[in-house]
Each structure stands twice: as C-alpha cells, then as structure tokens.
Amino acid sequence: MYDAVRHGRSDYSEEQRQAWVPEPRSGVDWHNRLLTQKVLVADNMTTIVGFMSLAANGYIDFAYIRPATQSTGLFRRLFNEVEELAMQLSEKRLWVHASLMAQPAFTAMGFSIVREEVVELGGQSFQRYEMEKVLC
C-alpha cells in the first residue's frame, strides 16, 4: 500500500500522498482491521506485489498494486478472485471508495460511479468516487 501510494503514478499531490499513507502500515490496529476481511495477496515469490480485500457487505476496502507491477493485469486477476468470492458469499453488489487512480480500473471491471466525494485526511482534501457493481 505504501509503495503504491507514495511511489506510483498519482493524480494527488505529494502532500496528499504523505497524509494518506505517512508510513507503511503495521501494528495491532492494522492487523485487527485486516482480520475482519478476506485478503487476497499476490507475490512474485519474494515480494508482495499487490493485494485486494473484501470486507462485510461486499465492500472492497483495499486494492493496491506496486508500481512495478501495474499495467500487467494483476488488478484484474485479483478483482476476478474477489468477485468470485463475493458471489460465493451471496453478496448482491460490490462497492468501493475509489481513488482518482483506481477509478478507471474499477470502471473497466464494470463498476459505475454512484457519487463523487471529497474527504479530509491528515489536513488534506481528497477527491474520490463511491462506485458499485451489481452482482447477478
């Protein structure tokens, strides 16, 4: 997550990226947050190169791909696994708060924008999109 936000292509300023992810996530709070979700991880045998998570009610909480692995189809492969898992769990829809960079990828996966939002984090304002995909 840190590498994707801080070193990847971004439509956010450096100040916004520092506020979003000031340092790599770790510790009890991070561990406990991930424990409540289904987390799919992709690695290249030595390094985690991306992950995506499915939380309660079909919410995709995390979707991050390391910069060196972007544009390789990894986002699509992780999403396909998340979508399959959601269908096995009988979710009616998937939804996400997508960043400016993630919005095109989710659109390509069949998501529609529900609303544009501006949220505050660490003294910075961030434009993002609430998006959804209805599962049949």
**Cross-strand bridge partners of residue 65:** 50
pLDDT of residue 7: 93
Note the pTM of the prediction, 2 decimals.
Answer: 0.93
- Number of residues that make up the chain: 136
Do the bridges between strand 124-134 and strand 93-98 make them parallel or antiparallel, or are there none, so unpaired?
Answer: antiparallel
Question: To the nearest whole number, what is the mean pLDDT of the chain?
Answer: 96
pLDDT of residue 124: 97
pLDDT (0 to 100) of residue 136: 80
- Taking residues 96-108, what's their average pLDDT? 97
> Which domains are present in the chain?
2-134 (3.40.630.30)
| Beta-carbon count within 10 A of 96 CB | 24
Average pLDDT rounded to a whole number, residues 16-36 = 94
Separation in Å, CA 40 to CA 124, 127, 130: 29, 26, 21
Q: For the residues 107-128, what does the mean pLDDT come to?
A: 97
